[in-house]
Amino acid sequence: MRFDRLLDRAAPVLLLGVTLVWGLTFVVVQRAVAHFGAIEFLAIRFALASLVLAPFFLRGTRRHEVRVGLGLGLLLALGFLFQTWGLRATTVTQSGFVTGLFVIFAPLFAGVLFGVGLRPRNYAAIGLSAIGLFLLLGGPGFAWNIGDTLTLACALCFGLHIALLSHFSPSCRTGPLTFTQIASQTLWLVLLLPAGAPLGNPFTGSLVGALLLTGLVASAGAFYIQTRVQKRLSAARTAVILTAEPLFAALFGYLLNHETPTAIELAGGVLIFLAMLVSEVGLGGWPQSRSA
């Protein structure tokens, strides 16, 4: 009983810690794939997470959960791959905020695919995010690059994933479905290995550290904590905490990569953050886990 009460009190802090780790991984992944294949890195990352989660959720997984997980895992694999490729050509700050646009795309996909109605605040969030993205990329004189395009594709994949997950998750159990998504990401990435670039530099201490952090902590560990504490937090409180991810990405970009956004870019980031906050808090049952 005392442990449960302690967990109730610590739940917001634990979830904020998960969000902080996700923000840190933008810098970690950017450095890791600078001299190592992106597909290979992600395949190893999610293989590690799968191995950790398998003893808890592999047994008793149903066929329906496997089928759904395979499809959703493909979207996640593509999303993380686009994000990782994008980090090679854009800043951590921009990657964090542009990735966060998935919370805007999710209700749009839900409306188109499943007829889920949009609320006025969703339209407001879309407008804010469009203006924010324009400013984040430099305003009137912005120079769109391939990294921004790839990261936007990542946000679209994550948004579609959330819409489909919200539709199919009621027929699946949370643990097995999340495990099948992470395991299927590994499968899809392994199938994509022939299309990857050469590995480049061999394994180094920093690369192994990045794999352990992203695979064990940011994927398997973060999922466990998120699943546990979200049972004790409302959807609205959870949403507010999770929207801090791009802020942490920007913070670590500044501290570790010495990225200093201009006033216009900073204003754009603030607008995108407000758009995510407006959209998330207004969606009730969302957000769902991105298995990240």
Statement: residue 231 has pLDDT above 80 = no
Determine whether 30 is exposed, middle or buried from the number of CB atoms within 10 Å of its CB (0-12, 13-18, 19+): buried
Phi and psi for 200 in degrees, rounded to 5?
A: 80, -135
pTM over 0.75: yes
Give Dmax (Cα) for the chain: 58
Task: Report pLDDT for 264.
Answer: 85
pLDDT of residue 212: 95
CB atoms within 10 A of CB 41: 24
CB–CB of 54/223 below 8 Å?
A: no
Digit-coded pLDDT (tens) for 30-47:
999 988 889 999 999 999
Q: pLDDT tens across 83-131, in order?
A: 999 999 999 998 998 998 887 888 889 888 988 777 788 788 888 888 8
pLDDT of residue 280: 66
